[in-house]
Amino acid sequence: MTKAAWIRLALLAAAIGGLEGACRAGWLPRTAIIPPTEMAAGGWRAVASGELNEDMAQTFSVVAIAIMVSLAGGFLVGFAIHGRPRLRRALDPFLGAYYAIPHFAFYPLLIVLFGLGPGPLIALAVMFGVVAMIVATMNGLDRVPRVLGKTAQVMRLTGTDELWRVRLPAALPHLFAGVKLAIAYSFIGVIAGEFILSTKGIGHAIAFAYDNFDARSMYGLILFVLLLVASVNLTLHTVEQRLIQRRSR
Amino acid sequence: MDVHASLRGVTRIYPARAGRPPLHALGPLDLDLRRGEFLSVVGPSGCGKSTLLDVVAGLALPSAGTVTFEGQPVLGRVPEGIGVVFQEDASFPWLTVEDNVAFGLRRAGTDPAEVRRRVDYALGFMGLADFARAYPAQLSGGMRQRVCIARTLVLRPRLILLDEPFGALDQQTRLLMGDELLRLWRETGATVMLITHALDEANLLSDRIGVMSARPGVWIETVQTGWPRDRDSTLAARPNFGAVSARLWASIRGESIKALGQAREGAGR
């Protein structure tokens, strides 16, 4: 582990330890926040008891679908726009301003369009994630050296082969920024959507605990979601670093 | 004369773009590339040498004129039998050296045993056998360029086009790579067209050298070197080597000054 990683770990441990101490000493009201050890215990209990299996299944399946649609859709749309410079110039201001839009405002419309099931949640999460992937795809393809495209032509690859065998792998390290954002945004979209409007899912379970002053379950589930997203991000970061390392000259 | 590839009245004009007028980059020019010869093309910077290579390869269409390879017209698609090595590093950084070299063969659906045989030969030929499992990032610039040459070699092209392939290498490596290129040319019997700005390199490697004018590039002279087919970089020690280089420079000097003026004009625009 690098020195910077040790410092990061020490800072995190200090923050958790400080919060634990402050809670135990009674400096922070227990109605507002509980010690991290109790959060962990609450999260473990909620997950291990099996009470949340249905909620977790709903959340993870919706997140997985949203991620797949965001990544695949974002890549294909990004690729299509990349190949049309005029369209790209026309769309650039919209893409730049996209994340200023309050996406949740569209939730009623999404319910009208997709019904009361997981459809609106998937749509909301995709709305969050897909544009990050579109932008990352275009930026990634910008960085693919022209000579690789020429090499593909010399090898007489078809357009599809060139895309999958040359352009996509060449752009992959640059796409990772989009992949990470699309995954994070998909989680945010789904959990936040469930929190406000769903009757199932981890977001709903957190909201339910909040409404019932069940701080242990609420913080436990928040911690669970945090750890989950952090683990996914850490895995992606490791893969990204390996890719960059393999290619850095 | 057995003509392998031929150009007739080839012109390349880049259309007007972003307020800039159309750019007449090349031609009109004619060329007969003889089967099995080593032809180099030299000329001042920006004279259209790389454009010429793109047109011959089928990577770009001429604005006027015709290109044929083995009697067939080249119509904006690289014909089977042509291999190109570029100046820029074109190795695929996500693949190992052997996968890079095998890439084209696998895409063409070649039998795996044949792929193995050809890749092993090419790696051995280019001195890369010990680096088969390495990634391009682990190699020097010269070795990466050898990977690209090996990747071209395995496809057994009958016409090899090289666009300043040693441009980014130091002088000593260039000389050694030149020797390897000559060995490759002799052993494969392929026709080679080399684009270079290095006059000594063109002199050392070529049977014939085409000298191009400043933009729009047209032929101003063709120099026959008269070197034996079995040659290497020790040729540079011959007394008449300097005379050929001097002749090339005399031919190109005025054009280089003109090209410098064009570049300044372009920068001031």
Q: B103: nearest CA in chain A?
A: A155
Q: A246: nearest CA in chain B?
A: B137
pLDDT at A115: 84
Q: Which of residues 77-96 of A touch B (CB under 8 A)?
A: none
In this model, does residue A246 exceed pLDDT 90?
no
pLDDT at B268: 56
B interface toward A at CB cutoff 8 Å? 57, 59, 77-78, 80, 82-84, 86, 88-90, 92-94, 103-104, 107-108, 135-137, 155
B86 contacts A151? CB cut-off 8 A: yes
Give the residue extent of every domain in chain A.
39-247
- Note the pTM of the prediction, 2 decimals: 0.80
pLDDT at A195: 85
Which of A156, A161, A243 lies closest to B78 in CB terms? A156
Residue partners of A42: CB distance under 8 A and separation at least 6: A34, A215, A216, A217, A218, A219, A220, A221, A223
pLDDT at A201: 92
* Mutation to test the A interface, candidates B84, B156, B193, most A Cβ within 10 Å: B84
The CATH-assigned architecture of domain A39-247 is Orthogonal Bundle (1.10)
Nearest to B30 by CA among B74, B73, B81, B65: B65
Q: Which of residues 148-187 of A touch B (CB under 8 A)?
A: 148, 150-151, 153-157, 161, 165-166, 169-170, 172
In this model, does residue A47 exceed pLDDT 80?
yes
Residues of A in Cβ contact (< 8 Å) with B57: 154
Scanning the structure block, which residue is given the tokens 């399946």?
A: A61
Nearest to A182 by CA among A228, A130, A120, A234: A130
pLDDT at B22: 86
pLDDT at B266: 65
Residues of A in Cβ contact (< 8 Å) with B86: 147, 150-151
Scanning the structure block, which residue is given the tokens 């972003």?
A: B18
Mean pLDDT score, A154-162: 92
In this model, does residue A76 exceed pLDDT 90?
yes
Q: How many residues does chain A have?
A: 249
**Following DSSP, what letter does each residue of chain B receive, concatenated?**
--EEEEEEEEEEEEPPBTTBPPEEEEEEEEEEEETT-EEEEE-STTSSHHHHHHHHHTSS--SEEEEEETTEE--SSPPTTEEEE-SS----TTS-HHHHHHHHHHHTT--HHHHHHHHHHHHHHTT-GGGTT--GGGS-HHHHHHHHHHHHHTT--SEEEEESTTTTS-HHHHHHHHHHHHHHHHHH--EEEEE-S-HHHHHHH-SEEEEEPSSSB-EEEEEE----SS--GGGGGSHHHHHHHHHHHHHHHHHHHHHHHHHHHHHH-
Q: A149: nearest CA in chain B?
A: B90
Coil, helix or strand at residue A118: coil
- B190/A247: higher pLDDT: B190
pLDDT at A36: 93
pLDDT at B16: 83
What is the DSSP code (8-state) at residue A116? Answer: S
How would you list the strands of the sheet with B191-195, edge to edge?
Answer: B82-85, B159-163, B191-195, B38-42, B208-212, B219-224
pLDDT at A13: 94
Q: What is the complex's ipTM, to 2 decimals?
A: 0.88
Residues of A in Cβ contact (< 8 Å) with B92: 148, 166, 169-170
Residues of B in Cβ contact (< 8 Å) with A143: none
Coil, helix or strand at residue A30: coil
Mean pLDDT score, A93-105: 86
In this model, does residue A163 exceed pLDDT 60?
yes
Q: Whole-number mean pLDDT of chain A?
A: 90
Strands B219-224 and B23-34: what pairing?
unpaired
Give yes or no for a contact between B174 and B187, defined as CB atoms under 8 angstroms apart. Answer: no
A143 touches chain B (CB under 8 A): no
Q: How many helices (H) and strands (E) does chain A have?
A: 11, 0
A248 contacts B89? CB cut-off 8 A: no
- A176/B161: higher pLDDT: B161
Rounded CA separation B160/B85 (Å): 8
Dmax (CA) for chain B in angstroms is 57
Per-residue pLDDT of chain B (269 residues; tens, 9 = 90+): 699 999 999 999 998 877 788 889 898 999 999 999 999 999 998 899 999 999 999 999 999 999 999 999 998 889 999 999 998 999 999 999 999 999 999 998 999 999 999 999 999 988 899 999 999 999 998 899 999 999 998 999 999 999 998 887 788 888 888 998 899 899 889 999 999 989 999 999 999 999 999 989 999 999 999 999 999 989 888 888 999 999 999 989 888 888 887 766 666 55
Rounded CA separation A13/A16 (Å): 5
Rounded CA separation B156/B150 (Å): 10
* Mutation to test the B interface, candidates A89, A156, A247, most B Cβ within 10 Å: A156
Q: A147: nearest CA in chain B?
A: B90
Q: A172: nearest CA in chain B?
A: B94
In this model, does residue A1 exceed pLDDT 80?
no
Query: A160: distance to nearest CA of chain B, Å?
Result: 12
| Structural domains in chain B plus CATH codes | 1-81+157-255 (3.40.50.300), 90-156 (no CATH)
Which of A153, A157, A246 lies closest to B137 in CB terms? A246
A243 contacts B94? CB cut-off 8 A: yes
In this model, does residue A74 exceed pLDDT 80?
yes
pLDDT at B52: 95
Residues of A in Cβ contact (< 8 Å) with B164: none
Q: B151: nearest CA in chain A?
A: A155
Rounded CA separation A219/B264 (Å): 67
Query: A161: distance to nearest CA of chain B, Å?
Result: 9
Query: B227: distance to nearest CA of chain A, Å?
Result: 31
Residue partners of B61: CB distance under 8 A and separation at least 6: B55, B75, B76
- B174/A82: higher pLDDT: A82
